[in-house]
Amino acid sequence: MSSRGGKLAPEVNRALFVKNLSYNVTPEELFDLFGKFGPIRQVRQGIANNTKGTAFVVYEDVTDAKQACDKLNGFNFQNRYLVVLYHQPDKMAKSKEDLEARRESLAQLKKQHGSLFPRLQAGLRLLLNLLRRIRRRSYEKAGPRPTEQPPKAAHPPESSASTTDFDLH
């Protein structure tokens, strides 16, 4: 992350964004893990449905944050590989705006063209039915397989002659 001259890259800062945390992790466990790299000012853990498994860790010193990011990104913690990034509020705001714009665009496309899912589902149903018919016809033309016996009739064929018609002597 260092650039020439020993300066830190512009994205390096004291606040780290941590993803892929276990939902059961406690703030104390995060303090213990991240505290190995230097004094921590604050840990904020996501608790809402859309933020569970994430946290912000803010260090007192930027070099401690850099060291933690370098060492803990990809680290296996509670059977999960952590994703540790520098918090970049400008990029997060931009990505949130981009996401909103994409959602609005998708909503407009749905209004114009209707949802594609029902049409896609109907097309798949037609295709599956066609494949079933083709398979059924190929089985009918091929007849029974050599290892299979033809199906036995449920009842023996009735003959017009009865046992009384025969001369038993």
Which residues contact residue 70 at a Cβ distance below 8 angstroms, ignoring those fewer than 6 apart? 1
How far apart CA 25 and CA 3 sit, in angstroms, is 35
The ranges assigned to domains in the chain are 11-87, 106-142
* Topology, domain 11-87: Alpha-Beta Plaits (3.30.70)
β partners of residue 56 = 17, 44
pLDDT tens digits for 143-162?
A: 666 666 666 666 655 555 55
CB-CB contact of 35 with 57 (8 Å): no
CB-CB contact of 16 with 59 (8 Å): yes
pLDDT tens digits for 56-99?
A: 999 999 999 999 999 999 999 999 999 999 988 776 666 677 77
How far apart CA 88 and CA 10 sit, in angstroms, is 10
CA–CA distance from 94 to each of 9, 88, 97, 103, 153 (Å)? 20, 10, 5, 14, 73
pTM: 0.53
